[in-house]
Amino acid sequence: MDQIIIQGGAQLSGTVKISGAKNAALPLLAASLLSDQELILHNIPQLADIDSMFELLIQHGVQISKEGSTITLNARGVVNTTAPYELVRKMRSSIVVLGPLLTRFGKARVSLPGGCAIGTRPVDIHIEGLRKLGAEIELEDGYIVAKAPNGLVGNTYTMPIISVQGTENVMMAAVLAKGETKLINAAREPEVVDLALCLNAMGAKIEGAGTDTIIIQGVESLNPAQHTVVCDRIEMGTYAIAALITKGELTLTDCDVSLIPIVSDLLIKAGGEINLLDANSPSKGFHIKTISDNICGVDILTEPYPGFATDLQAQMMALMTISNGASMVTETIFENRFMHVSELCRMGADINIHGSSALVRGVPQLKGAPVMATDLRASASLVLAGLSAAGQTIVQRIYHLDRGYDNIVGKLQNCGATIERTKASS
Ligand code: EPU
């Protein structure tokens, strides 16, 4: 098993190209199932989760070819509408094939994903939404067995909780349903907007993505299309925090800081300065640096978009561990997303958890230690902590990082970090 070894203390300086968003790319790949025409997706990141989605789509019968970060998909010859447990348990986002398979083929059998390290993560909203469109759904032997032999029919569905993939799944199903579907209390995340843009390029009729009400007029079939995946705002936020935690400066390209509105405000409050790249520069992006010797403590409350993303909570908490003052970090999206806290404390952080909040009292410096990654974003927070700590940090179980960070070691090395990936001895 691989591990990452970091010698902390180097101030980062350089340029990082931000990849396409994992959480946009996954449903976009699944959207290929909606059509018998070619879908070409540009800017697909190289990640283990993307490979898992390829594996799933290939076993459904989708033809996939790759050229760099461009992927061409053709779902003309789908042979199988079952998403098996062995693949879904590897990656719970596999659930987004349910809506497309059901609406195009009138049937789908998708394994229930089960819980994960950050929470129980039920899929009841996906199921209820599809039932609203007329699907008959039973749970059998750990599988969601969905049928709509005469096709789905548009309806109004008020989502009881804001769910990103729930919105994506029902929106994709509604694209080929008869008549109009209205999704109220829909997720407003940029990844939902990106999916709607791609679906519209394929010939869907979707309005309102990015607001809390999405209206979809069903169409009979879709066209060939091309789409470029939006930048990964979580990767962008992680590198912005890396600049501040090492008291360094980074230029982040191929990205859009307006996609992390609350996060960027808090990074500025914490002592960062953000300047957009010149309009004449070859790529869109921004420059971030620390302008104060001390990081200020700021309070963080995770919320659905445009609030502070739960996927950046662990990384921001790593920054707060070395702040001058205290910070209250409140997690409102997932019930168990503080797994990084005990590992950060092993590096000398002063953090106390009270229910869904963590009180972080800043310390002058963290100390390197062997630590264990527990989930994707927790792993990123440990890498950030290691970059700033005195001495050596060894991050184990880094397969979590491979799921969501495209070449994190190479990107950090290019900016002066002393970091390497090695084989663990046992
Ligand atoms: N929820 C339900 N029922 C459902 C669906 C969700 O109760 O049917 C609850 C969840 O348990 C959670 C809340 O609703 O408490 C929000 O979950 P959501 O459905 O929005 O999460 P998701 O769509 O499964 C996506 C991202 C996550 C990210 C969340 C929240 C993808 C592939 N995943 O998950 O990303 O944390 O939205 O923003 O888009 C990550 O990248 O590390 C990651 C976990």
Q: Which residues are registered as beta bridge partners of 67?
A: 70
- Position in ligand 1 atom list of the atom nearest CA 128: 8
**Closest protein CA for atom 18 of ligand 1:** 163
Give residue 115's pLDDT.
66
Cβ-proximal residues to 54 (8 Å cutoff; 6+ apart), any chain: 29, 64
For domain 2-19+231-423, say whether CATH 3.65.10.10 is its number.
Answer: yes
Give residue 319's pLDDT.
98
- Position in ligand 1 atom list of the atom nearest CA 123: 8
Structure tokens at 317: 């908490």
Give residue 406's pLDDT.
96
Q: How far is CA 376 from the centre of its chain?
A: 10
Catalytic one of 116, 231, 255, 415: 116
**Closest protein CA for atom 33 of ligand 1:** 23
226-244: pLDDT as tens digits: 999 999 999 999 999 999 9
Structure tokens at 352: 């106390």
116 flagged as catalytic:
yes
Dihedral sign for Cα 50, 55, 61, 67, please.
positive
Task: Supply the DSSP symbol for 147.
Answer: E
Nearest Cα to Cα of residue 193 among 169, 178, 214: 214
Pocket test for ligand 1, best of 53, 118, 121 (most atoms within 8 A of CB): 121
Give residue 426's pLDDT.
61
CA angle 352, 354, 359 (to 5 degrees): 40
Asked if 164 and 233 count as a contact pair (C-beta separation under 8 A), the reply is no
First to last CA, the chain: 8
Q: Which residues are registered as beta bridge partners of 237?
A: none
- Position in ligand 1 atom list of the atom nearest CA 95: 24
Asked if 153 and 177 count as a contact pair (C-beta separation under 8 A), the reply is yes
Residue with tokens 């062995």: 86
The low-confidence residues of the chain, meaning pLDDT below 50, are: none
Tell me, yes or no, if the pTM score tops 0.95: yes
- Residues with CB under 6 Å of ligand 1 are 23, 26, 93, 119, 121-126, 161, 163-166, 191, 310-311, 333-334, 376-377, 404
**Closest protein CA for atom 40 of ligand 1:** 311
Q: How far is the CA of 273 from the centre of ligand 1 (A)?
A: 31
- Label residue 314 left, alpha or beta by phi (over 0 means left) and psi (-120 to 50 means alpha): alpha
Give the phi and the psi of residue 115 in degrees, each rounded to 5: -80, 180
Residue 230 CA to residue 234 CA, distance in Å, equals 11
Q: Specify the domain boundaries for CATH 3.65.10.10 within the chain.
A: 2-19+231-423, 22-228
Residue 97 CA to residue 24 CA, distance in Å, equals 14
Residue 163 CA to residue 368 CA, distance in Å, equals 37
Give the phi and the psi of residue 296 in degrees, each rounded to 5: -90, 145
Residue 350 CA to residue 363 CA, distance in Å, equals 7
Asked if 20 and 230 count as a contact pair (C-beta separation under 8 A), the reply is yes
**Closest protein CA for atom 9 of ligand 1:** 121
Residue 222 CA to residue 220 CA, distance in Å, equals 7
Residue 44 CA to residue 2 CA, distance in Å, equals 24
Fold of 22-228: UDP-n-acetylglucosamine1-carboxyvinyl-transferase; Chain (3.65.10)
